[in-house]
Structures are given as C-alpha cells and as structure tokens.
C-alpha cells in the first residue's frame, strides 16, 4: 500500500496504479465472497437446497473495487499522520474530558428521558457491561501492554462464582460481588504465572487457550456447573435488602412498598442500570487512580520497554501479575453483574467471540483511552441493534468497521495519552 | 567498590565472556573498550544480572550480587543506562525521569529532579514532550538522567555516544566527567569511541573475544601502540590476547 502512495506524484501512473490495486482487491473480494455469500440455503419442499446468488458476489466485488479505487486515489502518504497526532493531543485531551462529562450527564438522566423504555435501558445496560469489560481489559492491554485474548474467562469466573455461590450456598448478590472479584483476580494470577516470560503473539495464544479452557471446564464439569444446561433462577439483586417484587417476601418489605411507589417491573431495570453505571464508574476511577500510582506507571513503563524497567529496579513479575489480577477483578465484577441481570448463565455466553469483541472495543477505542472505550462499546453494541435485519452480516459490519478504523484512525478512535504528571503539581503520594 | 572476578557468561552454547575480571574503585571512571562482539555490553549486562554469569563472582560494595535478579541489584545503588537508550517513548520526559526514581527515596525526588535538570537543561524544557519525540542526543541525556534519578553510587553507561553527532559526543562526555567529579558518582563506561573514552577515563580495559587483553590507565592505553592501531587509527592490528 505504501508503495502506491509513494508512487503517486505522476497522475497517469497513480490512476493506473489505483485501478490495478482496485482490481486486485476486487479479485480477492470475489474469491472470498463466492463461498461466503455466493450460495445460500433455501427451504424447498422436502428439505433444503443450495441456491447460488452470484449477483451478490458481483455487487460485493463492485463495492470493493469502488472503495479501494477511491482510497487509492485520495490517500495521502502515510508519513503526515504522526505529526498531526502529536499536535492534536494536547487540546484534544481537554475536549475529551468535556465530552466525557457530557456523556456521563446524559447517561445519568437516561432512565427519566421521555423516549426511554425497557428496550433502551436494556441496551444501555449491555453497553455499560461492555464499557466496564473494556475498561478492565484496558488495564491489561492498554496500560500493561499484555495482549490478552482470553479476557472472557474472568467474566465467566465472575458470573459462575455468583451463580454457584447462590446455587449451593444461597449467597446474595452483595456478598458475592467482592468474592467474584477476588476469585477472578486469583484466576488472573493463575493465568499470569505461566505466561510471565511470554510477550506479543505467544502471550496472545496462551491467553486464548486459557479462555477456552475455562469455558470447556464449565461445559464439561456437569455435576458442579450443570454443563451446557447452564444455571437458571440466579437470584436477582435487591435494593440493599429490599427485593424488587410485587409480593414482598414474608415478614419483609419490597422496594416499591418501602418507597411508597406503584409496583412497576421497570424499577429493577432502572436499578440494574444504575448499578452497572456505578460499577463501571468505579472501574474508571480506579484505573485512572492506579495510573498515577507507582504501580500504574510501572505497567506503562513495562509496556514500553521491559529491559529498561528491569534496569530501573521494577520487578516485572509483580508488575505483570498485578495487571492481570486487577484487570481480571473488574472482569469478575462485570461477570457477577451479568449473572444477576440475566438470571441465567451458560458457557454459551463466554465464547471466544466475547473476548474478541472486548478486545476490539479496547483497540478501536484507542489503547489506553477511557473515553475511546465508551465510544467503541456503544458502537459495537448499538450498531448491531440498529442493524437487526442484517443479523447474519453482523460479522461483515464488524470487519468493515475494523478496516475503516485501521485506515483512518490507526491509533484507535481516541489516541494520544495524557501524561500522568505535570510540573508544578507533582503526582500525589 | 565493584569487583568482577572470573565471570563466564553464555548465550546458549556461545561463551561470550571467558573469565573476565575487572575492578572499579570508588570515584573512578573506568572504561571498557573493544571491537563489536568483544563482550563489552555483555559484561555490563552480566553485572546487572541479565544474563547471569554461569561462573565467577560479582561483588558490589562488599555484597555478592552475582545471583540477584536485575531489579534487586539496582536497589543496591547501581544504575544501568542500557545500550540503545531504551527510554519509554510514549511517556513524557518527566514521567521517564520519574520511573528512574522507582527505587529512590521519594523524599529527595525534587532534589534529584533539579540535579538532573541542571546537568541537562534541555530536558527541563522538553519535560512534557514524549520521550519518543526527542532527538537522539536528547534521548541519550534522558537515559543518563533517568539512571541518575535513583541516586546511584555506581553508574553503568553502555555506549552513550552511539549514533550521536561529534559535537554531541563531546557534550555527553563532558557531562559524564561532571557527573563523576561534581556528583561523586563512580562510572563504568562501555564505549566504541575509544579515543574519547580513554581520554576521559582514569583507567581502562580492552576486551578482545570475551577476555581482558589489556588494562591500564587511560593515558597508558591511549599511548599503547597496539591499542592505537586497533581502535584509534582505524587499522586492523591485533591486540595480543
């Protein structure tokens, strides 16, 4: 690609080059599209038959040809973008803070807005779960620079901790929440130990395997986890002891009675919404705080250069393990919330796809950027909701979004990091 | 202060240091010179425990540090500015310096910062800039400044002149002398630039193929015919092992 950009000065050559490149891309698209969308199954009497729809393949090729051609003729040499980034970051950060506050204000009043209904709130809760997971994974990937493809494992550990503790020991949500975090953090350390020496691709592969191991254990340990049937009737959270039920339990009061409200099933949804919002904000606050503490700076330094870290007296073992543990802990909290919100969990919910989505949120948001994660999470959850008719092409949209972001914002939607200290106001502590 | 006795370091099956002994005394600047691959950097890295030597002993201020891990060694008052600068490119200059103070007492952070800024005024002006956006010379200053933030008694410098313009090389060497004289930091310096290094150093060692071939004061080595022909005049004369 770079060679095309560099060969751009002479217009006729550029045009020919662009055409050639576009034709090549269209060829590749055609080769991919033929088996993927070129055929589909249709119901016919007595079974299904395969029908071809070659016109779709042609459309896909034409779209790729046009896109690639436009890109090739409009694209400027890649060198310029780096400088622009550096200059923009200072003022961009102040804006980011403002945007963050505006988003927070909008989210806080969301349940009381006129268009807000159960569907909107449910979607918002899902977005917030992913925001929280993204922020948690950001500690590991964005700050410590450890590529983790199995983050969903900790989400699963959190969810199953709560579900199993409730199932076997009748623990409530509020007791389980810290336990889920602690258990997930323990698993984080367990994963951390064998991968201490690994970096980059090798680390990614092992974490991927770890994520699958957790899922497969949950799937096959039928006596304990009920395997693929999952666990149902997971207790719903109470409002600090007041259940959200029309009929209060014997000798108790339920939420609506206590506050003298008319019973409405939405109360629980609104509560769940604020609960996950609070959990996510705690995650954000803790991450930002940690970044300014020696441990957070050590994570970032480790991401930049492990050898330099050692020679400055940073213990890489402890630093990496703490990043895994803390990232996992937030995943565990989110998992416990997921379990109580769904009321039913099964290993199905914790596939590699989830890890990929969470990682995509972090990467597309801009590694290490808190606001970027919010934007990307909203994008990834709301886009498929808006495009429900395209359900079967969801992955295609995913891929398209990824390609577009890699082209225009290779550093992620919100790039550039803010220094954790400035002169005059040295880091506290 | 630092005594390295007969260390042998291996990379896999390859023996990079074949029994090297050197001595660094309090207040000195000692330089190690030698051709590419002679084992200069390996010697510095072995002192820092990465990789650890398979045989021999390294004693720093009376304490055996041979089997300690890198981050533990640094806590004993020894700082290493590794080859290739290895600053943190996406962190600001100030943050880089702050990372250097990891093992230092936070009480003298402000003092140490002021000291480093006095040695390298350019770093003070660039403090909010990302490390990666500095020029090569500035990065080198940052690397040395960062190492100084831990208040080391012994500073190990690995090729501080690498890739710098001649004018900057002079400046870096002047600063090293300043660190040594004014701050009282003992320096062990690995250099390709034998001429500058030997003029600066109190004593020097010549490493050839993982062994110490020659030792002497800086002036002696500068005057030595074999050293001159091998390292100073671009010749290829062999130094007797």
Q: What is the pLDDT of residues B14-40, one digit of tens each?
A: 999 999 999 999 999 999 998 888 999
Residues of chain A contacting residue B74, judged by C-beta atoms under 8 Å apart = 310-313
Closest Cβ–Cβ partner in A304, A310, A315 for B91: A304
d(CA A43, nearest CA chain B) in Å: 57
Is some CB atom of chain A closer than 8 A to the CB atom of B86?
yes
Establish whether the linkage from the previous residue to A429 is cis, with ω within 30° of 0: no
pLDDT at A87: 46
Residue A292: closest C-alpha in chain B: B95
What pTM, to 2 d.p., does this model score?
Answer: 0.80
Report the SS3 class of residue B133. helix
A155 is written with which tokens? 């989400």
pLDDT tens-place string over residues A328-370 = 999 999 999 999 999 899 998 999 988 988 998 888 887 778 8
Residue B239 confidence (pLDDT) above 70: no
d(CA A98, nearest CA chain B) in Å: 22
Distances (CA, A) of A278 to A126, A131, A178, A267: 14, 12, 14, 16
Report the SS3 class of residue A15. helix
Domain of residue A181, residue span = 105-408
Same domain, A189 and A282: yes
pLDDT tens-place string over residues B149-158 = 999 999 999 9
Is some CB atom of chain A closer than 8 A to the CB atom of B87?
yes
Same domain, A246 and A381: yes
**Do B102 and A313 count as a contact with CB atoms less than 8 A apart?**
yes
To the nearest 5 percent, what fractions of chain A are helix, strand and coil?
A: 75, 5, 25
What one-character-per-residue DSSP string does A292-348 give?
HSHHHHHHHHHHH-HHHHHHTT--HHHHHHHHHHHHHHHHHHHHHHHHHHHS-B-GG
With respect to residue A7, please indicate whether it lies within any of the assigned structural domains.
no
DSSP state of A10: S
| CATH classification at residue A226 | 1.10.3470
Residue A299 confidence (pLDDT) above 70: yes
The arithmetic mean of pLDDT across residues A93-121, rounded, is 82
A180 is written with which tokens? 């889920």
Is some CB atom of chain A closer than 8 A to the CB atom of B221?
no
pLDDT tens-place string over residues A313-326 = 899 899 999 999 99
Same domain, A67 and A109: no
Same domain, A117 and A27: no
Same domain, A215 and A264: yes
Same domain, A189 and A330: yes
Q: How many CB atoms lie within 10 A of CB A112?
A: 8
Q: What percent of chain B has pLDDT over 70?
A: 96
Same domain, A376 and A242: yes
pLDDT at B174: 92
A397 neighbors A390 (Cβ within 8 angstroms): yes
Chain B interface disruption, residue of A313, A321, A421, A423, most B CBs within 10 A: A313
C-alpha to C-alpha distance for A124 and A117, rounded to whole angstroms: 11
Of A44-48, A81-85, B185-189, minimum mean pLDDT range: A81-85
Same domain, A326 and A231: yes
Chain A interface disruption, residue of B47, B71, B92, B144, most A CBs within 10 A: B71
Is some CB atom of chain B closer than 8 A to the CB atom of A294?
yes
pLDDT at A320: 92
For the ranges A76-85, A376-385, B87-96, the one whose mean pLDDT is highest:
B87-96
d(CA B34, nearest CA chain A) in Å: 23
DSSP state of B117: H
What residues pair up with A41 in beta bridges, in sequence order? A50
**Do B71 and A316 count as a contact with CB atoms less than 8 A apart?**
yes
Is some CB atom of chain B closer than 8 A to the CB atom of A88?
no
Is some CB atom of chain B closer than 8 A to the CB atom of A144?
no
**Could you tell me where the DSSP H helices lie in B1-155?**
40-47, 70-74, 93-100, 109-119, 121-125, 136-148
B235 neighbors B229 (Cβ within 8 angstroms): yes
Pick B111 or A117 by higher pLDDT. B111
A217 is written with which tokens? 């254990």
Is some CB atom of chain B closer than 8 A to the CB atom of A301?
yes
Q: What percent of chain A has pLDDT over 70?
A: 87
Same domain, A322 and A226: yes
Instruction: Please give the ipTM for the structure prediction.
Output: 0.85
pLDDT tens-place string over residues A149-207 = 999 999 999 999 999 999 899 888 888 899 999 999 999 999 888 888 887 788 889 99
Is some CB atom of chain A closer than 8 A to the CB atom of B132?
no
Sort residue A176 into left (φ over 0), alpha (ψ -120 to 50) or beta: alpha
Closest Cβ–Cβ partner in B92, B109, B150 for A312: B150
Mean pLDDT score of chain A: 83
Residue B216 confidence (pLDDT) above 50: yes
Q: Which residues contact B189 (CB under 8 A, 6 or more apart)?
A: B29, B30, B31, B32, B157, B160, B176, B197, B200, B201
With respect to residue A5, please indicate whether it lies within any of the assigned structural domains.
no
């Amino acid at each position: 690609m770079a060679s095309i950009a560099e060969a751009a000065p002479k217009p006729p050559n550029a045009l020919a080059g662009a055409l050639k490149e576009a034709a090549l891309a269209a060829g590749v698209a055609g080769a991919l599209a033929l088996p993927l969308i070129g055929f589909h199954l249709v119901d016919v009497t007595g079974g299904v038959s395969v029908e071809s729809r070659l016109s779709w393949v042609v459309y896909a090729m034409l779209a790729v040809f046009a896109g690639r051609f436009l890109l090739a003729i409009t694209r400027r040499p890649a060198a310029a973008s780096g400088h622009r980034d550096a200059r923009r970051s200072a003022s961009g950060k102040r804006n980011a803070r403002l945007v963050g506050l505006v988003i927070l204000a909008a989210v806080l009043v969301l349940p009381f807005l006129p268009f807000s209904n159960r569907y909107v709130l449910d979607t918002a809760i899902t977005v917030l779960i992913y925001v929280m997971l993204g922020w948690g994974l950001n500690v590991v990937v964005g700050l410590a620079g450890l590529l983790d493809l199995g983050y969903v494992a900790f989400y699963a550990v959190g969810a199953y901790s709560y579900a199993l503790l409730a199932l076997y020991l009748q623990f409530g949500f509020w007791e389980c929440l810290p336990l889920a975090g602690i258990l997930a953090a323990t698993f984080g350390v367990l994963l951390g130990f064998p991968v201490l020496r690994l970096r980059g691709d090798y680390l990614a592969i092992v974490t991927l395997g770890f994520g699958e191991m957790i899922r497969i254990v949950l799937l096959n340990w039928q006596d304990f986890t009920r395997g693929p049937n999952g666990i149902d009737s997971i207790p719903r959270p109470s409002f600090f002891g007041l259940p959200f039920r029309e009929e209060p339990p014997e000798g108790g009061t339920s939420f609506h009675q206590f506050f003298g409200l008319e019973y409405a099933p939405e109360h629980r949804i609104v509560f769940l919404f604020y609960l996950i919002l609070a959990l996510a904000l705690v995650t954000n606050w803790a991450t930002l705080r940690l970044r300014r503490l020696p441990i957070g700076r050590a994570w970032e330094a480790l991401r930049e250069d492990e050898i330099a870290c050692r020679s400055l007296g940073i213990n890489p073992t402890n630093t990496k393990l703490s990043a895994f543990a803390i990232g996992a802990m937030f995943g565990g909290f989110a998992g416990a919330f997921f379990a109580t919100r769904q009321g039913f969990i099964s290993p199905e919910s914790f596939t590699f796809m989830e890890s990929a989505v969470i990682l995509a949120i972090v990467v597309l948001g801009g590694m290490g950027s808190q606001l970027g994660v919010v934007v990307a999470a909203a994008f990834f959850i709301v886009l498929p909701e808006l495009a429900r008719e395209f359900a079967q092409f969801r992955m295609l949209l995913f891929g398209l979004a990824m390609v577009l972001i890699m082209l225009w914002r290779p550093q992620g939607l919100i790039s550039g990091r803010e220094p954790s200290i400035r002169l005059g106001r040295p880091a506290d502590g | 202060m630092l005594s390295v006795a007969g260390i042998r370091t291996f990379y896999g099956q390859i023996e990079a240091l074949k029994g090297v002994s050197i001595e660094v005394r309090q207040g000195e600047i000692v330089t190690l010179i030698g051709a590419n691959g002679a084992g200069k950097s390996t010697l510095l890295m072995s002192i820092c425990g990465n990789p650890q030597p398979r045989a021999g002993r390294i004693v720093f201020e009376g304490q055996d540090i041979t089997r300690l891990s890198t981050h533990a060694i640094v806590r004993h008052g020894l700082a290493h500015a590794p080859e290739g600068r290895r600053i943190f490119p996406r962190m600001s200059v100030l943050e880089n310096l702050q990372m250097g103070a990891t093992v230092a007492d936070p009480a003298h952070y402000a003092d140490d910062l002021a000291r480093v800024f006095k040695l390298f005024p350019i770093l003070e002006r660039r403090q909010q800039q990302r490390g990666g956006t500095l020029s090569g010379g500035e990065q080198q200053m940052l690397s040395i400044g960062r190492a100084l933030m831990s208040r080391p008694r012994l500073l190990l410098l690995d090729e501080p002149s690498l890739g710098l313009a001649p004018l900057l090389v002079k400046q870096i060497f002047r600063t090293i002398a300043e660190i040594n004289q004014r701050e009282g930091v003992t320096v062990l310096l690995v250099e390709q630039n034998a001429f500058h290094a030997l003029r600066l150093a109190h004593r020097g060692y010549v490493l050839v193929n993982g062994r110490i071939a020659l030792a002497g004061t800086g002036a002696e080595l500068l005057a030595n015919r074999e050293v001159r022909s091998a390292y100073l005049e671009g010749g290829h004369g062999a130094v007797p092992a």
